Amino acid sequence: MTKEFFYLDGKDQKGPFTIDQLKQVGLKPDTLVWTEEFESWKPAKDVSELADLIKKTPPPPPIIDSYQSVTVATNENPTKTKTLVEDSNVKLWATVKIISLILLLFIVVAFVGYSFVDTKRANLKKEIAEKIAYVFGTKSEVLDGEKTGVQGEEETTNYGKEKTKKKEKLTWIKLGKDSVQMDLNNFSTQTWAERDGLYTIFKCTKGGFTIKKLTKLNDESFDLETYYSGDMGYRKPEFSRGITGWSYNEYGENNTYGNIRNYRKSVQSCYNEAFDFFTKDDKTGAYTAGKLIDITTFPDIRNEYFYMDNTAPKLYSSSGHFSADWWSSDDHTANVFCEDARVYYSSKGKHYELTLNEDKFKKDLLLTIGISCGILLLLVIVIGVSKPKFFPQPFIVRQKMEKYFVRRPSSFL
């Protein structure tokens, strides 16, 4: 009786086959076979009857040095050989791809970090723009102030009194090629009370009014001006000269009437009228009641990235000022006058620009990008140490290349 064998092809059992039929199969030494005489499956190399049927295969080639090329002879034509790709090239391309990928990831992370900080900057600018809009409302200029009880002393001037005739003081003054005589009395200095025709002046020591005006030049440029009340002066005397008339008493004596009282407004009333001139009587529409605190604290508007910087204007400024600060040089020049009096005031101004805190912005930008890139670098190091399958090592690549070319010699032909 002819002996028949079964063999395993992976997990599939095939057979039965005679020894002659197994010649066509091409058994390998490790292929498991079984026949009725066996108690269990045996490798084909351990069965004497199948020794001549086992296909002879060459052993795995030795590990080749990185800088040597590998040549493989084929069974079909042993005279033809093929040189494998050098292992150094495999390493180079693998390294270039990995480094390129890592650099790309770092660029993406840096861009994402910058976008995050820049978005934060835009949101903070929008936040501070809303605070500015709250102060101005629909206006480009807002004004408000406060008044307090005024204190000081009155003083009568020499204005309006009969003056003694001064003796001419002539002197020769050379003007160009000619010399002329001039009266030095004409060069006498007038006081501000005499200049403005004031009969009585009030020297203010405390109180009066304070006016603040805020002007928006553009979305990022602003002027803040403050007006302070000063001294005051009456434009008419307390008494005017009486009218001379005749009256007779029982003795036939004649009398003249006395001086007439002019009933000037009180000092406080004069300051109140000047205050109303700036506020209630304002024709520009800038006066906005209840805005004094908002105007006063306007320079303190700030957040994490933006603040109001007292600096020279970048484009232009109101009132023809082109500096960070300005003030009036003479507190007896600008005044508000009415029928009774003149109320003098002085002013000072400051220019503000909405400014980015560049140190804080750059610090946050570098910190965000640094932390992001640091986390990415740590992740790359962990991946490199763990050597996952998707992160091939040069030695593994070399083995796979050698295995491919050795087992498929026909691919070179």
Residues 17-34: tens digit of each pLDDT: 888 888 888 788 888 889
Report helix, strand or coil for 62: coil
Residue 240 has what pLDDT?
77
Mean pLDDT of 230-241: 88
In terms of average pLDDT, the best of 43-47, 156-160, 239-243, 360-364 is 360-364
Residue 147 has what pLDDT?
94
Nearest to 326 by CA among 227, 220, 210, 225: 225
Mean pLDDT of 77-88: 51
Q: Which helix (H) or strand (E) holds 142?
A: strand 141-156
Residue 412 has what pLDDT?
39
Q: Which helix (H) or strand (E) holds 5?
A: strand 5-9
Rounded Cα–Cα distance for residues 365 and 363 (Å): 5
* Tokens describing residue 366: 């570098």
Q: What is the pLDDT of residues 129-145, one digit of tens each?
A: 999 999 999 999 999 99
| Contacts for 346 with CB less than 8 Å, ≥ 6 apart | 227, 228, 230, 327, 328, 331, 334
Q: What is the pLDDT of residues 283-306, one digit of tens each?
A: 889 999 999 999 999 999 999 999
Residue 387 has what pLDDT?
65
The pLDDT > 70 percentage for the chain reads: 73
Residue 78 has what pLDDT?
47
Window from 165-169, 187-191, 278-282 with minimum mean pLDDT = 165-169
| Contacts for 89 with CB less than 8 Å, ≥ 6 apart | none
Residue 413 has what pLDDT?
36
Which has more confidence, 143 or 338? 143
Residue 244 has what pLDDT?
46
Q: What is the pLDDT of residues 151-165, one digit of tens each?
A: 999 999 988 775 544
Q: CA 296: distance to chain centroid?
A: 24
